[in-house]
Structure 1
Amino acid sequence: METVELGEMSDKVDPSQDKFPFCIVWTPIPVLTWLIPIIGHMGIGLSNGVIRDFAGSYYVAENNMGFAKPVKYWQLSPSLAKGGASGWDLAVTGAAVIYKNRAHNLLCDNCHSFVATALDLMNYKDSRKWNMVKLAFLMLIYSKYVSFTGFLKTWLPFFFIVTVSVIVSCTVNN
């Protein structure tokens, strides 16, 4: 298993420094998120705030999130992970080891699955039933945008497409 360099542990989220300790983070995927705004790219932060994400086949990035910097985050409690903060880090690292040996599949083994595996490994909230659909909906409900710009990056393209579609549809039907 790979070693984890913890550095200074803090539970303070700092988007300006890309530090998201104990957080699930999310960023839009161009075109896909424009059409379905709840679909995006997900990663998970170690106790020191470093983000790990399954960014492609056989590749788990560290502090270089695929697609863009996070626009949303959901901070979780390390006390609900088996082993606390160190258990959290071991589980995220363990998930990274597993996913460095997996091919990426958009529909069934992806970045959301990577995060779900980390939560399963840490037995977060005494559960080993985390999955990509559950995480997508929980992120929709519990996450916070890092800024208003993050909100716009997520929703503006979708509303633009819907508005243009409605205008075109009304024009064609009249």
Structure 2
Amino acid sequence: RRADQFESVRHGAPLRFVVASIRRYSEVSTRTLIRCRFVAGRFVEELSVFDMSPKPVAIDFNRDRFPFCIVWTPIPCLTWFCPLIGHMGICTSSGVVRDFAGPYFVSEDNMAFGRPAKYWMLDSSRARDGVQGWDRAIAQGSEEYKGRMHNLFCDNCHSHVARCLNLMQYDGSTRWNMVKLALMMPLHSRYVSMWAVIKTWLPPALLLLGLLLLLLLVPTA
């Protein structure tokens, strides 16, 4: 950890308040107020440090706010036959969902196919330029996808999320793609509620049960 920039804000004998931008090894800058004691213009001791960085926003399930998360919800019919298939979006630092909902349209705070059923919390410090880089990448990726035709198989909601992660170079990588996200989401995500579990798995379970009953009832030749 090192101080990159110091700016004198207030002078008072013998105290001085200094605002410092401190850069950690993760390349995330934080704002810190440091109260120091000076004697005859020379630094004597550091009295206190106050973190002025923006505080992380907590997840709010009632308002569907999932800061720094990838969210997922089932798609009727498609998810029933393959529970791994669903609709995906990515959330800003304030928790607002952005998702590629259709041709030339990226939704904001109104996720297509219903409220999020699962969320995968990521770490903003792994994004280039931290929180600012996270939000900037989502805004840039969303503007880019407003000019794209939606394709279920090769340029879809997963592709939009992958593009945002690549723009922010999340985890130092620019190799995020729809297949990688589809495989990682079930491994790292959590359901928002018990109803979300039921909404995701009850239709596939009923379809499977119906198929088994059909096989048992149909006489074999």
Check conservation: 1:55, 1:61, Cα contact below 8 A: yes
- TM-score (norm. length: structure 2): 0.74
Q: Which structure has the larger Rg?
A: 2
Check conservation: 1:74, 1:143, Cα contact below 8 A: yes
Q: Which amino acid aligns with 2:190?
A: K
- In structure 1, the partner of 2:215 is 169
- TM-score (norm. length: structure 1): 0.93
- In structure 1, the partner of 2:87 is 41
Structure scoring higher RCO (CA < 8 A, sep ≥ 6) equals 1
Give the unaligned 5+ runs of structure 1.
1-7
CA RMSD of aligned residues (A): 1.1
- In structure 1, the partner of 2:138 is 92
- In structure 1, the partner of 2:115 is 69
Q: 1:78 & 1:55 partners in 2: Cα distance?
A: 24
Structure with greater helix percent: 1
- In structure 2, the partner of 1:156 is 202
How many correspondences in the alignment?
167
Q: Which amino acid aligns with 1:35?
A: F
In the TM superposition, 1:1-174 aligns within 5 A as 10-173=56-219
Check conservation: 1:13, 1:20, Cα contact below 8 A: yes
Check conservation: 1:11, 1:22, Cα contact below 8 A: no
- Percent same amino acid at aligned positions? 51
- Please state whether the residue corresponding to 1:30 is helix, strand or coil: coil
Give, in angstroms, the shift of residue 154 of structure 1: 0.6
- Please state whether the residue corresponding to 1:68 is helix, strand or coil: coil
